């Protein structure tokens, strides 16, 4: 269907996408971008967190593809990849219609970009409207106001009898969808969510079974892939991955100086090795931040190697590449907790973990510096206000690095 004429048709488009996602054995969520003025469907997509690798002979296939590949986040990225060549309208003239209340990552992405949003089902665990009150307690005040001005939740007819909730910004605002398609959009996600989370959260060997990638020869597939991912890979090592020292300042600050914005994010493995240090590409898209680039590109590299047609490469990847939950992410700057970028980032971290994280002190989500006017308390408070999935399951807990020499070295290099 190229054009939709009402909310029912729009939700049916995204419900069909959620079915495709379920058949792919990933989170059963679908979405589309609709032009408000015409009802034209510009793009429809579904979740691709778990996805088979094309033409791979690996058995069983390694499905964890990209923890950020939620339907809505992908749609935002599709828009920025195509807005000029397709002469697309501004996000304020478009609506992202989705089967499920967006998670923190997707909500932050949509609000950063400025789309209108229309929703079918509520996600009471990870959705930003998890309490169904349209007060968005997760969001910082200015971001909350923006959501209340641009989001809407379609009414549902009998026997659900849900009233429309939201603004007049989304296409088909205040319209009603039938109980059948509403129930499908909720139940199909509920049927998939726990299985997919388990598959994603447990995709890798525990640290005591891993081998140290620093011991790999220069011509090994894993070492070459890490070096291609980041020139800083395996150049720095710390005795404790939770206690990065001053040697991390140079990778972070030099990467940040070459990034689109002054920031970088490093990923350390359980051995304390620096696996990657990447900056953002916000000039291409405001959601391609340093953290989004780091977590996404590491995951894509791992997915590719784990599905290599060479069984020796697959075995090497399995033995040497950690799941990020066993590593440590270190930001040069933690995002400003007053912004939608911070919501997106903490949400993307939660999606990267996709379940419980081995608890330790310090946290495996760390930062070196704060933006001017930002306090550690404000950062912690944003994390504590996230939907239940992030506070109860993942337990998002950003903390500043403990090594003062690292903090001072970073400040000196900026």
For the stretch 115-170, pLDDT in tens is 999 999 999 999 999 999 999 999 999 999 999 999 999 999 999 999 999 999 99
| CB-based contacts of 381, cutoff 8 Å, min separation 6 | 337
Question: pLDDT at residue 301 above 70?
Answer: yes
User: What is the rounded average pLDDT of the residues 266-277?
Assistant: 98
Q: What is the pLDDT of residue 59?
A: 92
* Sign of the dihedral through C-alpha 14, 20, 24, 28: positive
Instruction: Give the CA count within 13 Å in the CB-facing half-sphere of 166.
Output: 27
* Sign of the dihedral through C-alpha 78, 84, 86, 89: positive
User: What is the rounded average pLDDT of the residues 213-232?
Assistant: 97
Percent of the chain with pLDDT over 90: 97
C-alpha dihedral (304, 309, 310, 312), degrees to nearest 10: 60
Q: What is the pLDDT of residue 16?
A: 98
Q: Are 403 and 244 in contact (CB under 8 A)?
A: yes
Instruction: Report which of 361, 347, 411 is spatially closest to residue 241, judged by C-alpha positions.
Output: 361
Percent of the chain with pLDDT over 70: 100
DSSP letter for each residue of 177-212: E-HHHHHHHHHHHHHHHHHHHHHHHT-S--GGG---
DSSP letter for each residue of 12-69: HHHHHHHHHHHHTTS---EEEEEETTT-BEEEEEE--SB-PPTT---SS---B--TT-
For 231-320, where are the alpha helices, taking DSSP H only?
249-257, 290-306, 311-320
Mean pLDDT of the chain: 97
Q: What is the pLDDT of residue 359?
A: 80
| CB-based contacts of 54, cutoff 8 Å, min separation 6 | none
- The 10s digit of each residue's pLDDT in 60-91 is 999 999 999 999 999 999 999 999 999 999 99
Q: What is the pLDDT of residue 1?
A: 60
Burial 203-222 (b: 16+ CB within 10 A, else e): bbbeeeebeebbebeeebbb
Q: What is the pLDDT of residue 414?
A: 93
Question: pLDDT at residue 404 above 70?
Answer: yes
Q: What is the pLDDT of residue 148?
A: 98
* 3-state SS class at 372: coil
């Amino acid at each position: 269907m190229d054009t939709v004429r009402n909310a029912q048709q729009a939700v049916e488009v995204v419900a069909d996408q959620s079915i495709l996602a379920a058949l792919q054995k990933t989170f059963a969520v679908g979405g589309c971008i609709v032009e408000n003025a015409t009802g034209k469907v510009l793009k429809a997509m579904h979740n691709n967190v778990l996805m088979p690798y094309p033409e791979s002979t690996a058995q069983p296939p390694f499905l964890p593809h990209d923890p950020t590949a939620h339907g809505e986040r992908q749609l935002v990225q599709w828009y920025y990849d195509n807005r000029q060549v397709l002469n697309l309208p501004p996000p304020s003239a478009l609506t992202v219609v989705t089967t499920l209340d967006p998670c923190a990552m997707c909500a932050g992405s949509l609000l950063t970009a400025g789309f209108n949003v229309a929703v079918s089902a509520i996600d009471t665990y990870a959705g930003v409207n998890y309490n169904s009150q349209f007060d968005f307690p997760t969001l910082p005040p200015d971001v909350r106001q923006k959501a209340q001005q641009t989001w809407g939740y379609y009414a549902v007819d009998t026997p659900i009898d849900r009233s429309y909730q939201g603004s007049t910004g989304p296409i088909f605002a205040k319209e009603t969808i039938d109980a059948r398609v509403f129930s499908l959009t909720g139940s199909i996600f509920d049927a998939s969510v726990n299985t997919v989370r388990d598959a994603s959260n447990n995709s890798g060997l525990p640290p005591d079974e891993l081998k140290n990638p620093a011991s790999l020869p220069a011509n090994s597939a894993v070492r070459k892939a890490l070096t291609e991912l980041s020139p800083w890979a395996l150049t720095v090592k710390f005795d404790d991955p939770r206690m990065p020292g001053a040697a991390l300042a140079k990778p972070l600050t030099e990467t940040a100086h070459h990034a689109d914005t002054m920031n970088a994010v490093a990923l350390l493995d359980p051995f304390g090795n620096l696996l990657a240090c990447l900056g953002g590409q916000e000039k291409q898209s405001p959601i391609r931040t340093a953290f989004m680039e780091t977590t996404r590109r590491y995951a894509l590299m791992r997915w590719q190697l784990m599905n290599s047609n060479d069984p020796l490469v697959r075995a090497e990847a399995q033995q040497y590449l950690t799941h990020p939950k066993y590593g440590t992410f270190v930001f040069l700057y933690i995002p400003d907790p007053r912004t939608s970028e911070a919501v997106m980032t903490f949400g993307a971290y939660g999606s990267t973990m996709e379940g419980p994280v081995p608890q330790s002190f310090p946290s495996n989500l760390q930062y070196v510096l704060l933006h001017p006017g930002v306090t550690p308390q404000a950062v912690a408070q944003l994390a504590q206000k996230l939907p239940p999935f992030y506070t109860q399951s993942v337990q998002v807990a950003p903390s500043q690095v403990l090594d003062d020499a690292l903090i001072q070295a970073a400040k000196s290099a900026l």
